Amino acid sequence: MFKKLLIIIMVLVVVVSFSKDSFAADGDDFTPVNLDKKYLKGYYTDTKYILASPFRWDKKGWYTFGGVMAIGALIYVYDEELRDWTQDNISPDTNHLAEFGDYFGNGKYMVPGLFGFYAVGAVIDSPKIKRTALLGIESFIITGVLTQVGKLSFHRHRPRTGDPKDTFDGPSFELDNDNLAMPSGHTSTAFAIATVIATEYSDSKIIPVLSYSLAAIDAWSRMHYNAHWASDVFMGAALGYFVSKTIVKLHDDGPTTLTFMPQLIDDGAYISVGYRF
């Protein structure tokens, strides 16, 4: 396991090394994130904000949601064909690639790896790396919790069971791993971390490509191992992406809020209204 953790940390360091401001103590054109009470409290407040997000969506938000659902439905139609194609093209080379990709959605390696990445940022005094590591950990954990809610809601059977793609047992607290296919947990958390890194280093042309490529390899590995249908993988990737985008935004400027503040002035009492975007 220690060897795999070192691989994770080294990959993360190599990825962000393509950004010139990663290893500088200066360059504070972003909001720092520190490992403190405020950060830990954010796990609750950010989760609450994410769960309530549909109530704040405008037309664009609902169009985006509809588009994601439509693509997911289209992939669902071809789930069995995509499963068969993946299984028919397994080789020693694909086995090695799948084993490597499997690291990036596995919490046993990624969470300690991100803490190690944070330690690198602390040693070299890089606020950028520390912020990226902490947001990556938060996104990983919150996405993981939401993924489990989805799994327990659908109880979809994995393709390796031999059951048809439309085998859903429905909501329950049963924890049989063979019917916890949708959404893919490895994929959702891999894309959660990739999205944080890609967003934090969006000025780089290389880092987003590398981050999403690693997440895509992890997603493909889930189909390679016959653990997930293609639609499970797609929905997991979408969940990780949108959750992380929201978390990064919240740590940039906080949630949108409407506030009322009573004020007493010489000629009377007033209420000021403030709207934070």
Report pLDDT digits (tens) over 161-203: 999 999 999 999 988 899 999 999 999 999 999 999 999 999 8
Quote the percentage of the chain above a pLDDT of 70: 85
Report pLDDT digits (tens) over 103-138: 888 888 888 889 999 998 899 888 999 999 999 999
Strands annotated E in 90-231: none
- Three-class DSSP category at 13: helix
Q: Which of 15, 71, 63 is nearest to 207 (CA)?
A: 15
Average pLDDT of the residues in 154-158: 97
Range of the domain at 234: 2-276
Average pLDDT of the chain to the nearest whole number? 87
Report pLDDT digits (tens) over 215-227: 999 999 999 999 9
Residue 274: in which H helix or E strand, if any?
A: strand 268-276
- Rounded to whole angstroms, the Cα distance separating 53 from 61 reads 9
In single-letter form, the type of residue at position 157 comes to H
- Rounded to whole angstroms, the Cα distance separating 222 from 73 reads 19
Side-chain half-sphere exposure of 43, counting CA atoms within 13 A: 15
DSSP per position, 86-121: HHHT--HHHHHHHHHHGGGG-HHHHHHHHHHHHHHH
And the tokens for 205? 């042309």
Average pLDDT of the residues in 77-106: 94
- Three-class DSSP category at 1: coil
Weakest-pLDDT range from 46-50, 91-95, 109-113, 146-150? 109-113
Report pLDDT digits (tens) over 221-249: 999 999 999 999 999 999 999 999 999 99
Count of domains forming the chain: 1
Residue 198: in which H helix or E strand, if any?
A: helix 185-200
Long-range contacts: 147-152, Cβ < 8 Å, 24+? 147/183, 147/184, 147/185, 147/188, 147/189, 147/236, 147/239, 148/185, 150/182, 150/183, 150/235, 150/239, 151/180, 151/181, 151/182, 151/183, 151/185, 152/180
Q: How confident is the model at residue 253 (pLDDT cuts 50, 70, 90)?
A: low
Average pLDDT of the residues in 89-110: 91
